[in-house]
Protein backbone atom coordinates (compact mmCIF):
# COMPACT_ATOMS: atom_id res chain seq x y z
CA UNK A 1 0.00 0.00 0.00
CA UNK A 2 1.26 3.49 -0.81
CA UNK A 3 0.96 6.27 1.74
CA UNK A 4 1.72 9.96 1.58
CA UNK A 5 2.14 12.15 4.63
CA UNK A 6 3.99 15.16 5.96
CA UNK A 7 6.69 14.06 8.39
CA UNK A 8 8.32 16.84 10.38
CA UNK A 9 7.47 19.33 7.63
CA UNK A 10 8.63 17.18 4.71
CA UNK A 11 6.43 15.33 2.22
CA UNK A 12 7.04 11.59 2.42
CA UNK A 13 5.68 8.86 0.18
CA UNK A 14 6.33 5.21 0.87
CA UNK A 15 5.17 1.71 0.13
CA UNK A 16 4.23 -0.13 3.31
CA UNK A 17 2.69 -3.41 4.31
CA UNK A 18 -0.89 -3.20 5.58
CA UNK A 19 0.18 -4.19 9.09
CA UNK A 20 3.11 -1.76 9.43
CA UNK A 21 2.97 0.19 12.70
CA UNK A 22 3.56 3.91 12.66
CA UNK A 23 6.39 3.57 15.20
CA UNK A 24 8.33 1.29 12.85
CA UNK A 25 7.65 3.53 9.85
CA UNK A 26 8.93 6.57 11.78
CA UNK A 27 12.07 4.85 13.02
CA UNK A 28 12.77 3.63 9.47
CA UNK A 29 12.59 7.30 8.43
CA UNK A 30 15.19 8.44 10.97
CA UNK A 31 12.93 9.46 13.84
CA UNK A 32 14.87 7.76 16.60
CA UNK A 33 13.28 9.79 19.40
CA UNK A 34 10.23 7.56 18.94
CA UNK A 35 10.94 4.62 21.20
CA UNK A 36 9.42 1.23 21.81
CA UNK A 37 8.92 0.55 25.49
CA UNK A 38 5.93 -1.55 26.44
CA UNK A 39 4.27 -2.82 23.26
CA UNK A 40 0.92 -2.20 24.94
CA UNK A 41 0.23 1.56 24.74
CA UNK A 42 1.02 2.13 28.40
CA UNK A 43 4.40 3.87 28.57
CA UNK A 44 4.16 6.97 26.33
CA UNK A 45 7.66 6.49 24.87
CA UNK A 46 6.28 6.37 21.33
CA UNK A 47 4.22 9.59 21.53
CA UNK A 48 4.06 11.65 18.34
CA UNK A 49 1.68 14.32 17.07
CA UNK A 50 -0.79 13.47 14.33
CA UNK A 51 -2.26 16.74 13.13
CA UNK A 52 -1.12 18.38 16.39
CA UNK A 53 -2.73 15.76 18.66
CA UNK A 54 -0.62 13.32 20.66
CA UNK A 55 -0.99 9.67 19.63
CA UNK A 56 0.84 6.51 20.63
CA UNK A 57 2.59 5.42 17.46
CA UNK A 58 2.89 1.82 18.67
CA UNK A 59 -0.92 1.61 18.49
CA UNK A 60 -1.46 3.27 15.12
CA UNK A 61 -1.06 1.59 11.77
CA UNK A 62 1.12 3.59 9.40
CA UNK A 63 -1.74 3.44 6.90
CA UNK A 64 -3.80 5.62 9.26
CA UNK A 65 -1.21 8.39 8.87
CA UNK A 66 -1.89 8.61 5.13
CA UNK A 67 -2.80 12.20 4.32
CA UNK A 68 -1.91 13.49 7.77
CA UNK A 69 0.87 15.54 9.32
CA UNK A 70 3.11 13.69 11.75
CA UNK A 71 5.53 15.50 14.04
CA UNK A 72 8.14 13.80 16.19
CA UNK A 73 10.58 15.34 18.61
CA UNK A 74 13.04 15.69 15.72
CA UNK A 75 10.58 18.08 14.06
CA UNK A 76 9.91 20.06 17.24
CA UNK A 77 13.50 20.70 18.30
CA UNK A 78 13.14 24.45 18.73
CA UNK A 79 9.99 24.14 20.82
CA UNK A 80 11.41 21.24 22.83
CA UNK A 81 14.90 22.60 23.42
CA UNK A 82 13.86 25.52 25.59
CA UNK A 83 11.58 23.39 27.76
CA UNK A 84 14.05 20.48 27.94
CA UNK A 85 16.60 22.66 29.72
CA UNK A 86 14.15 23.10 32.60
CA UNK A 87 13.66 19.34 32.90
CA UNK A 88 17.43 18.79 32.90
CA UNK A 89 17.90 21.53 35.50
CA UNK A 90 15.66 19.60 37.88
CA UNK A 91 17.52 16.31 37.39
CA UNK A 92 14.43 14.79 35.84
CA UNK A 93 16.18 13.11 32.93
CA UNK A 94 18.29 10.66 34.84
CA UNK A 95 18.48 7.94 32.18
CA UNK A 96 16.73 9.99 29.46
CA UNK A 97 14.74 7.06 28.09
CA UNK A 98 11.32 8.53 28.87
CA UNK A 99 12.31 12.07 27.97
CA UNK A 100 11.11 12.22 24.33
CA UNK A 101 7.60 11.01 25.17
CA UNK A 102 7.47 13.18 28.27
CA UNK A 103 8.52 16.28 26.31
CA UNK A 104 6.00 15.54 23.54
CA UNK A 105 3.16 15.32 26.07
CA UNK A 106 4.35 18.45 27.88
CA UNK A 107 4.36 20.35 24.57
CA UNK A 108 0.81 19.15 23.91
CA UNK A 109 -0.16 20.34 27.38
CA UNK A 110 1.46 23.77 26.92
CA UNK A 111 -0.36 24.20 23.61
CA UNK A 112 -3.74 23.31 25.11
CA UNK A 113 -3.30 24.74 28.59
CA UNK A 114 -0.42 27.18 29.07
CA UNK A 115 -1.07 27.53 32.82
CA UNK A 116 -2.06 24.11 34.18
CA UNK A 117 -2.51 23.22 37.83
CA UNK A 118 -0.31 20.55 39.37
CA UNK A 119 -3.18 18.06 39.06
CA UNK A 120 -3.60 18.91 35.37
CA UNK A 121 0.15 18.43 34.83
CA UNK A 122 0.00 15.04 36.54
CA UNK A 123 -2.96 14.10 34.35
CA UNK A 124 -1.01 14.94 31.18
CA UNK A 125 2.01 12.97 32.36
CA UNK A 126 0.00 9.99 33.62
CA UNK A 127 0.54 7.99 30.43
CA UNK A 128 4.33 8.33 30.56
CA UNK A 129 6.42 5.70 32.25
CA UNK A 130 9.47 7.01 34.13
CA UNK A 131 11.29 4.52 36.30
CA UNK A 132 14.01 6.88 37.55
CA UNK A 133 12.61 10.09 38.91
CA UNK A 134 9.15 9.55 40.33
CA UNK A 135 7.84 12.49 38.26
CA UNK A 136 8.60 15.12 40.89
CA UNK A 137 11.54 16.49 38.87
CA UNK A 138 9.36 16.73 35.78
CA UNK A 139 6.68 18.52 37.78
CA UNK A 140 9.23 21.00 39.17
CA UNK A 141 10.69 21.54 35.69
CA UNK A 142 7.26 22.18 34.18
CA UNK A 143 6.32 24.61 36.96
CA UNK A 144 9.65 26.45 36.52
CA UNK A 145 9.11 26.64 32.76
CA UNK A 146 5.59 28.00 33.21
CA UNK A 147 6.89 30.69 35.60
CA UNK A 148 9.66 31.54 33.12
CA UNK A 149 7.06 31.98 30.37
CA UNK A 150 4.84 34.11 32.60
CA UNK A 151 7.79 36.43 33.22
CA UNK A 152 8.25 36.95 29.48
CA UNK A 153 10.65 34.12 28.62
CA UNK A 154 11.37 33.48 24.96
CA UNK A 155 8.52 32.09 22.87
Taking the chain (155 residues) in consecutive chunks of 10 residues, what is each chunk's mean pLDDT?
A: 98 97 97 88 90 95 98 92 83 75 90 92 83 78 90 73
In a domain, 155, yes or no: no
Tell me the CA distances in angstroms from 27 to 22, 52, 58, 123, 148, one per residue in order.
9, 19, 11, 28, 34
Closest CA to 86 of 152, 131, 132, 153: 153
Q: Are 119 and 145 within one domain?
A: yes
- Residue 135 has a pLDDT of 75
| Residue 113 sits in the same domain as residue 144 | yes
The pLDDT of residue 155 is: 53
- pLDDT score recorded for residue 133: 66
Point out the domain boundary residue: 43, 74, 105.
74
Q: CATH no. for residue 48?
A: 3.10.20.30
The domain of 13 spans: 2-74
Beta-ladder partners of 34: none
SS3 of residue 86 by DSSP: helix
Q: Which CATH number does the domain housing residue 120 bear? A: 1.10.150.120
Q: CA angle 68-72-76, nearest 5°?
A: 110
CA separation for the pair 19, 24 (Å, rounded): 11
Amino acid sequence: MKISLVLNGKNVEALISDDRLLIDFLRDHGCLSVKRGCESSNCGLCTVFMDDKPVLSCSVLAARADGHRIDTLEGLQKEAEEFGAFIADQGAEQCGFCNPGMVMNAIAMFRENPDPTDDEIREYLAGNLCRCSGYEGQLRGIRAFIEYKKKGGAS
